[in-house]
Structure formats: C-alpha cells, structure tokens
C-alpha cells in the first residue's frame, strides 16, 4: 500500500502480427482495467526493436519518443545497485503534447551510463584530500558487493541536435508535471518493495557530453515570413563542436568547505547533492541572435570559447538555517490528474 492507494504493476504484450508488438505498463490504484492507450507508459516495437515510447504524465501533458535503428543493452551486475545502460540510435525525435516542430531532434544519439572500478590512484587521491574521520560518514564511497569503490561513467554523444521551444509548449509546466510524476512513481515502487533501496554514499563520477552541431529555436512567432515561406525565429542559439567534461572526485566535505569560502554569507551552511564538479568546457562558433534586432550580425558571438575550473550546481541541505521544510505530495497515478485546483483554492 502506498499512501492511500494500492499499487498494481502489469506488463502486457499484444501480438498484432509478427512484426508489430505493443507493450503497455499499467500503474494504477489497485483496480485492474483493460489495457488502453491511457496507460501512462506505452512501448511500441517493430520486430525486436523499440520504435516508439509514449509517456502520459497527465491528460494534457504527454511525451512521445521515436527511434530509428535503436540498439539498447541493460545489464545488472552482481553487487551493483543500478544497471549498466548502453543506448544508440541513428535518429531520435522527442515530441511534447503533439506541438510541432518537435521538441528535440537527434540525427544520431549515443548514450551510456555504466560503472567501473575506481583505480588505486583515484582512491588514494580521494582519501588524502578529506578528513580520515569522515570517511565513514558524509565521505563514504559507493561500492560494489566486495566493497570496491565504483566510478559512474555518464556519456552523451550526438552529431546534430535541434531544439524548438515555442511559447505554446509551456515547457516549465511540462517539467513540473514530469518531476511530480517521476517522484510519485519511484515513491510508489519503493513503498511496495518493487525497487531496491539506493546505496548510501558518495558516487565518484565522470560526465561527458559531445555535440558537433547544436541549434536552439525559442519564442517562435506564430506568423510566417511570406518571402521565405517559413516561421520567424525570435531567438536562436547555435554552436559547433561542443565538449563538456565534469569530474566529480572531490569529497563532499571538501566541496562544502569550498562553497562556504566562496559564499559571502557569514553563516556556515550545509549543502546537498552536488551536480557539478571539476569542469572543462569548450565550444566553437557560439552565436546568439534575436529577431528582428540582429538578423545579419549576431547579438553575441564567441569563437573557440573555453572554460576550465570548478562549477557547482548544489542546493542547501534541509539542516541549513532558514530552509523550508520538505513537503511531500501524493499524485494518484490512475487518474493522470493533479488534485483539483478548485478544491485547493476553496480549502
């Protein structure tokens, strides 16, 4: 039982023909029902390959991902708390709420999230930079079943990535809804004992992102340019040869000390999970334009820009002063709806 709701998981495969398969994952409040397109997770397959994945976060918030030539492998190693995932596709489109053009378009996508054993030098460097007395508390490392520290390798590589965010997309509303849905999903699976509890500790990590060409179109106008027969882009960002690498090997206690030294607030704060680290970034031919202010000359142009140093993306720990208490929300997965705003306003 999860809160006020009973959870039920059901995976079904309907064989329409030898080449068509439809998989639906039903998560509902304990009432079995006929499989339908209302399932929050819908997977369509052609032969042995996944061609489309549809996720319904709410009746008015849904996402569809289409793949070409998708290859994916998932392996759960003994002693690891999370699987190794490798994914590659020649063409990928992410569509949100059927708004055209699509939200994201990859001409090629390579994604991997795997773990390896930390080397002796990495372990020695980590241990030598933190207080030995804290190795069993905030600085304790995540290990495998034999207590060998692990390093997570998170890699995303693509050739051409195009993003389009028109005003009608309401991207912020979609992200809030997706976060609520995912949080409720994992909370339900955890309380039902379906998912394993995450190991406590600090995860050594290497993050690498590479893009040969990136094109972002935002705030697209509803009208069309009659001469070119295309929509006018109010804001455009594009760059070439983007490289980002983040190494997360500094102990949390060292990161906390560094952040307090940088912060002008005299109070000493505790911080939560750090999504940044030692960062190296390079980009060639970065351009930022706004229509119609600079159709010929970009508002901003950077050539061969580079950044090297520490980049921290971290929130305050709940134990820090003046931090609001954590508020838990329960979203009924069977209805795809938030609690009634009208009822909330009346209460």
How far apart, in whole angstroms, are the C-alpha atoms of residue 292 and residue 301? Answer: 17
Q: Per-residue pLDDT tens for 311-334?
A: 888 888 877 777 777 676 665 544
Residue 56: partners with Cβ closer than 8 Å, 6 or more residues away:
38, 39, 40, 41, 42, 62, 336
pLDDT at 193: 66
- Out of 116-120, 141-145, 181-185, 305-309, pick the least confident: 181-185
Can you tell me the mean pLDDT for 48-71? 84
- Would the pLDDT of 11 be above 50? no
- Would the pLDDT of 119 be above 80? yes
Nearest one of 313, 316, 302, 315 to 279, comparing CA atoms: 313
Can you tell me the mean pLDDT for 4-20? 38
Nearest one of 284, 107, 275 to 207, comparing CA atoms: 275
> 257's torsion region: left (phi>0), alpha (psi -120 to 50) or beta?
alpha
Residue 256: partners with Cβ closer than 8 Å, 6 or more residues away:
269, 270, 271
Q: Per-residue pLDDT tens for 153-203?
A: 999 999 999 998 887 888 888 888 888 888 777 777 677 766 666 667 888
Work out the percent of the chain whose per-residue pLDDT is above 90: 21
- Would the pLDDT of 59 be above 90? no
Peptide bond into 48 cis (omega under 30): no
pLDDT at 250: 87
pLDDT at 114: 92
Can you tell me the mean pLDDT for 81-86? 84
How far apart, in whole angstroms, are the C-alpha atoms of residue 28 and residue 12? Answer: 14
Can you tell me the mean pLDDT for 45-54? 77
Kindly give the pairing relationship between strand 150-165 and strand 204-218. parallel
Can you tell me the mean pLDDT for 203-216? 93
Peptide bond into 23 cis (omega under 30): no
The predicted model scores a pTM of: 0.73
Torsion of CA 172, 173, 175, 179, to 10 degrees: 140
pLDDT at 280: 95
- Out of 142-156, 204-218, 292-306, 319-333, pick the least confident: 319-333
Q: Per-residue pLDDT tens for 230-268?
A: 555 578 889 999 999 999 998 888 888 888 888 887 888
């Amino acid at each position: 039982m999860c809160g006020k709701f009973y959870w039920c998981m059901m995976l079904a495969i309907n064989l329409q023909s030898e080449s068509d398969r439809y998989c639906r994952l039903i998560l509902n409040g304990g009432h079995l029902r006929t499989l339908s397109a209302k399932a929050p997770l819908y997977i369509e397959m052609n032969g042995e390959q996944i061609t489309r994945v549809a996720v319904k976060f709410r009746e008015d918030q849904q996402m569809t991902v289409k793949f070409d030539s998708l290859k994916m492998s998932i392996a759960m190693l003994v002693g690891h708390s999370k699987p190794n995932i490798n994914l590659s596709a020649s063409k990928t489109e992410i569509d949100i709420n059927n708004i055209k053009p699509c939200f994201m378009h990859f001409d090629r996508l390579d994604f991997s999230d795997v773990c390896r054993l930390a080397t002796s030098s990495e372990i020695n460097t980590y241990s030598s930079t933190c207080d030995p007395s804290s190795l069993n508390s905030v600085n304790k490392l995540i290990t495998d079943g034999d207590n060998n520290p692990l390093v997570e390798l998170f890699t995303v590589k693509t050739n051409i990535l195009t993003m389009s965010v028109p005003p009608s997309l309401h991207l912020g509303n979609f992200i809030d809804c997706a976060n609520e849905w995912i949080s409720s999903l994992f909370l339900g699976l955890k309380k039902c004992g379906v998912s394993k509890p995450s190991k406590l500790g600090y995860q050594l990590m290497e993050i690498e992102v590479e893009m040969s060409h990136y094109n972002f179109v935002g705030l697209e106008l509803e009208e069309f340019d009659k001469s070119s027969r295309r929509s006018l882009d109010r804001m455009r960002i594009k760059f070439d040869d983007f490289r980002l690498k983040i190494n997360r090997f500094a102990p949390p206690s060292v990161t906390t000390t560094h952040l307090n030294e940088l912060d002008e607030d005299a109070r000493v704060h505790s911080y939560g999970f750090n999504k940044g680290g030692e960062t190296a970034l390079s980009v060639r031919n970065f351009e930022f334009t706004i229509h119609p202010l600079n159709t010929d000359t970009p508002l901003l142009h950077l050539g061969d820009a580079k950044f090297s140093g520490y980049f921290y993306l971290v929130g305050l720990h709940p134990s820090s002063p003046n931090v609001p208490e954590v508020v838990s929300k329960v979203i009924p997965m069977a209805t795809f709806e938030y609690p009634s705003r009208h009822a909330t306003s009346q209460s």
